[in-house]
Structure 1
Amino acid sequence: MVLTDYELAALLLSLKIALIASVCLLPIGIGLGWLLARKEFYGKSLLDGIIHLPLVLPPVVVGYLLLVLFGSQGIFGRALQNAFGISFAFNWHGAVLAAAVVSLPLMVRSIRLGIMGVDPKFEQAAMTLGAKPWKVFVTITLPLTLPGLISGFLLAFARSLGEFGATITFVSNIPGETQTIPLAMFSFLETPGAEFQAMRLCILAIVIALSSLFISELLSRKAQRNLGYI
């Protein structure tokens, strides 16, 4: 299937936004996953609920909240604009933020389950031998959590590719700037006689999503074999 310039622009922008969102989420997901898996503290259930809130809220609500908080007149948006010249409104940076917010629960959940699967006795043994907590985390916990890290990263990537509601609410549907594959499909569906183009993008989105899930499963199984889990 040969892509038109319009379709190629939407595809490349989708891949760019999904990749940047997933990479930026990785350290956050690792930190939150470890915190929820290894620590007990007051308000843990509340934090867990807030992290998973994008899974149950309508995407339009998530987009509206982002607009209120990070829009040009939002609490954080105005501060970031004045202090650092960073703007999220109506540009691809905002699309990255929207994709990251809706993908965060999937990444945190995968990493948390991966860390919970690591036997704490390995970490305790290393600390009794004099290893500092950060070294134990880097040399023992993270390597043993690799299948969860891979799964979380690729699930977040696939979810970012499919993001629609929060993105269109927060940064609109601007060709070449915020118009990802789902938003381009929406534009075609609103255009009389453009059903064929919408179907082409639908097939492309399905292929990319299935490929991401297949690669996730393949890499996770390979990591598990290397670690001796299977």
Structure 2
Amino acid sequence: MSPGAARRSRARDGFVPPIIAVPAVLGLALLVLPLAALVARVDWTTFWPDITSQPALDALRLSFVTGLIATVACTILGVPLALVIARSGARTAAVLRAIVTVPLVLPPMVGGIALLFLFGRRGWFGALGLQIPFTTTAVVIAQTFVALPFLVLALEGALRTSGVAFERTAAALGAGRWTILRRVTLPLAAPGLLAGVILCFARAIGEFGATALFAGNAPGVTQTMPLAIYTAFNGAGVPQGTAVALALLLLITAVAVLLLVRAWRPGTPR
């Protein structure tokens, strides 16, 4: 390699000290090895019976149905919220974005307690006679609470990237606000919206902490896949073989979600 080519290669690869690769490899191993251990633990000879057993099917069905409902709820609530944040002034947007981000950094158990204090028998809405905790509705609310930020932040980022130039052009041509929203704003932000919806669904079906405290762990009613896995490793509920199979299914779902999101990001190298 010529000296010029070597310099261009170094400029392209950066100037990070080679020793940095050591902790980088250790960090990667910390992320990959536990997942490899999970896959290695799966008993493939009983995988299909495990995943199709009645407790597993109940948990699967409940997780996917409530996850889909929560994703629809997040879309209905999250799209307007993302639009408001993206089109607000810098200070207002910063405050709203911080509020939306709270469930991402809040321990899930704290979220479950907060929902219980809001909808519980002695909560703000509990005084109205609503019986929401420890029902399937509570599962949907908990999933919506933890998943909504993923959709809002993904869509808000896409809306800010697309800007308002095309909206102004459409307005100058006589288009109304709803027409601009339907024909210009949302189509331009469609990749961000789709990515947000996919991430939202994945987060919803993987929710555990808030659901456990707010909805409980009743098989067929509130026992989602994460709760079934937790229960199995505490000596009750579904067998551990089924729990491992469900854990692998959640892992496969997470990987599929990441691949879908990557595929829908414009300009992402493949």
- Tell me, yes or no, whether TM beats 0.5: yes
Structure 2 portions without partners, runs of 5+: 1-47
Aligned 8 A contact 1:158 1:213 in 2 = no
Residue in 1 that maps onto 2:168: 124
- Opposite residue 68 of structure 2, the aligned amino acid is L
Residue in 2 that maps onto 1:195: 240
Aligned 8 A contact 2:75 2:197 in 1 = yes
* Percent identity for Structure 1 against Structure 2: 36
Structure 1 portions without partners, runs of 5+: 82-86
* Offset of residue 145 of structure 1: 0.8
Residue in 2 that maps onto 1:30: 79
Aligned 8 A contact 2:109 2:210 in 1 = yes
* Offset of residue 41 of structure 1: 7.3
Match of 2:260 among 199, 210, 215: 215
- Opposite residue 200 of structure 1, the aligned amino acid is A
Q: Residue by residue, what CA displacement relative to the aligned partner does 1:158-211 show, whole Å, maximum 9, x if unpaired?
A: 001110000001111110000000000011000179432321111111122222
Q: Residue by residue, what CA displacement relative to the aligned partner does 1:60-80 show, whole Å, maximum 9, x if unpaired?
A: 000000000012331024337
- Opposite residue 24 of structure 1, the aligned amino acid is A
Residue in 1 that maps onto 2:57: 8
Residue in 1 that maps onto 2:203: 159
Match of 1:105 among 123, 135, 149: 149
Q: Residue by residue, what CA displacement relative to the aligned partner does 1:3-49 show, whole Å, maximum 9, x if unpaired?
A: 20110110010001110000111021111111111111764433222
Aligned pairs for 1:44-193 (under 5 A) are: 44-79=93-128, 81=130, 87-191=131-235
Measured in 2, the distance between the counterparts of 1:160 and 1:7 equals 18
Aligned 8 A contact 1:123 1:140 in 2 = yes
Measured in 2, the distance between the counterparts of 1:79 and 1:135 equals 40
SS at match of 1:130: coil
Measured in 2, the distance between the counterparts of 1:77 and 1:42 equals 35
Residue in 1 that maps onto 2:31: none
Aligned 8 A contact 2:148 2:200 in 1 = yes
Aligned 8 A contact 2:108 2:210 in 1 = yes
SS at match of 1:178: coil
* Offset of residue 108 of structure 1: 0.5
SS at match of 2:77: helix
Aligned 8 A contact 1:60 1:166 in 2 = yes
What is the aligned-residue RMSD (CA, Å)?
2.1
* Offset of residue 117 of structure 1: 1.6
SS at match of 1:49: helix
Say how many residue pairs are matched. 218
Measured in 1, the distance between the counterparts of 2:151 and 2:94 equals 18
Q: 1:11 to 1:147 in 2, by over 3 A?
A: same
Measured in 2, the distance between the counterparts of 1:78 and 1:158 equals 33
SS at match of 1:175: coil
TM-score between the two structures when normalised by the length of structure 2: 0.75
Of the two, which has the highest radius of gyration?
2
